[in-house]
Amino acid sequence: MNANKTIVKIMGTGIISLLLNLATLGQDLHFSQFFNAPLTVNPANSGFIPDADYRIGANYRNQWSTIMTVPYKTTSVFADAQLFRDRLENGWLGIGAFLLSDVAGSGSLRSTKVYGSLAYHQMLGFSSLVSAGFNVGWANKRIDGSKLKYPDQFDGKFFDNKLPTTVVLNNSSVSYLDVQAGMNYAYFPQENVYINAGYSIHHVNRPKETFFSDNAPESRIPMRHIGFVNAILKVSPTIIINPNVYFTTQARATELVLGLNANYNLGGFGEKQLVAGAYYRLGDAIVPMVGLEIGTIRLSFSYDVTLSRLNQYNGYRGATEFSLMKKGFYPDNVERVTLCPKF
């Protein structure tokens, strides 16, 4: 009985490994802490910073380490800033850049993406703001086919990549130009209320991405649509809550995430804040998070607890994720009024 269970587990793990490797070809990289990776969500977020003039950040995600020989590891670094805030009437430019790097599964599928973004932000009266932006990037994916295992290499007990296979990879590396566009709207009727919504389209130019024949119709990346709504609400002198709703769809795959995090003022004017919250990814996982904000630096940690049937293989252990972000004002703008609630 134990031997049969072992074989079933090996088969399940092998099949999952193959499916996840192939599925990754058509799915974008993402973070559970999407609110801490603003430029990967929407290019109009470049310079869309209600409580600072600039920000820099980094994100790291380690996923499925319990079922993959080589777990999925995703790293991102980004920076954006506001320009001409005092030169354009009631508006400013936002510039930004980010780098995404990912290593996925036993096939060593590696992704590298570099983007630069530009956005324009325009105040509408004293209580709202509209923004539009785009980014252009270079992307590369490469794979080591010798490390992959295919269904026709299963010998009845194990997957053996030394056995012949009918699967043929035409290329081991692909590169392409990628374009994304988006817009945002923010409403802040009073100092304790800030509401923000945005929409973006990724892969507007439908670039080709395939390790097989370039003529295959499925070689073009389907456009990805992302929409989000969030709010920053000061509910007491010591608590600010930040509810978020995030939805994305691509190639018939959808993802809905909702939840909130709260900042608790540990003293003074918010120089030290405790951050805690939880999110739910519909049909997949619950994501508790905790963090600490000291001065202009914020560090947060989250953990994906798998609720889907995949928990039979990973024991509910989905992914760990870290985020580090620093915000600041230019030297001559330290007295600038922020658009969102603060302590």
Tell whether 269 is covered by a domain: no
Structure tokens at 98: 């980010």
Averaged over 36-58, what is the pLDDT?
A: 96
Question: By percentage, how much of the chain surpasses pLDDT 70?
Answer: 79
Separation CA 307–CA 305 (nearest Å): 6
Separation CA 293–CA 297 (nearest Å): 6
Q: Which residue has the higher pLDDT, 18 or 149?
A: 149
Tell whether 44 is covered by a domain: yes
> What pLDDT does 215 receive?
67
Whether pLDDT at 11 is above 50: no
Q: Which residue has the higher pLDDT, 187 or 152?
A: 187
Tell whether 333 is covered by a domain: no
Averaged over 6-11, what is the pLDDT?
A: 39
Whether pLDDT at 23 is above 60: no
Q: Answer left, alpha or beta for residue 266, where phi above 0 means left and psi between -120 and 50 means alpha.
A: alpha
Whether pLDDT at 7 is above 60: no
Q: CA nearest 34: which of 226, 194, 202?
A: 226
Q: CA nearest 7: which of 219, 159, 207, 115?
A: 159
Average pLDDT, the chain: 85
Whether pLDDT at 24 is above 80: no
Tell whether 285 is covered by a domain: no
Tell whether 174 is covered by a domain: yes
Q: Can you give the residue range of the structural domain that contains 178?
A: 2-262
Partnered with residue 180 across adjacent β-strands are: 135
Separation CA 12–CA 152 (nearest Å): 15
For residues 22 and 326, the answer to whether their CB atoms sit within 8 Å is no
243-295 confidence digits (pLDDT tens): 999 999 998 899 999 999 999 999 888 899 999 999 999 999 999 999 999 99
User: Confidence band (pLDDT; 50, 70, 90) for 214?
Assistant: low
Tell whether 304 is covered by a domain: no
149-175 confidence digits (pLDDT tens): 667 667 667 666 667 776 667 777 899
What total of structural domains would you count in the chain?
A: 1
77-127 confidence digits (pLDDT tens): 999 999 998 777 789 999 999 999 998 766 678 899 999 999 999 999 889
Q: Which residue has the higher pLDDT, 142 or 150?
A: 142
The CA-based angle 47-52-58, given to 5 degrees, is 70
> What pLDDT does 217 receive?
63
> What pLDDT does 2 receive?
43
For residues 246 and 34, the answer to whether their CB atoms sit within 8 Å is yes
Q: How far is CA 309 from CA 16, 21, 29, 280, 283, in A?
A: 12, 18, 22, 16, 9
CATH at 22: 2.40.128
> What pLDDT does 216 receive?
64
User: Confidence band (pLDDT; 50, 70, 90) for 39?
Assistant: very high
Whether pLDDT at 59 is above 90: yes
Q: CA nearest 34: which of 26, 44, 42, 24?
A: 42
> What pLDDT does 69 receive?
64
Tell whether 275 is covered by a domain: no
Half-sphere exposure (Cβ direction) of 84: Cα atoms closer than 13 Å: 13
Tell whether 334 is covered by a domain: no
> What pLDDT does 171 receive?
78
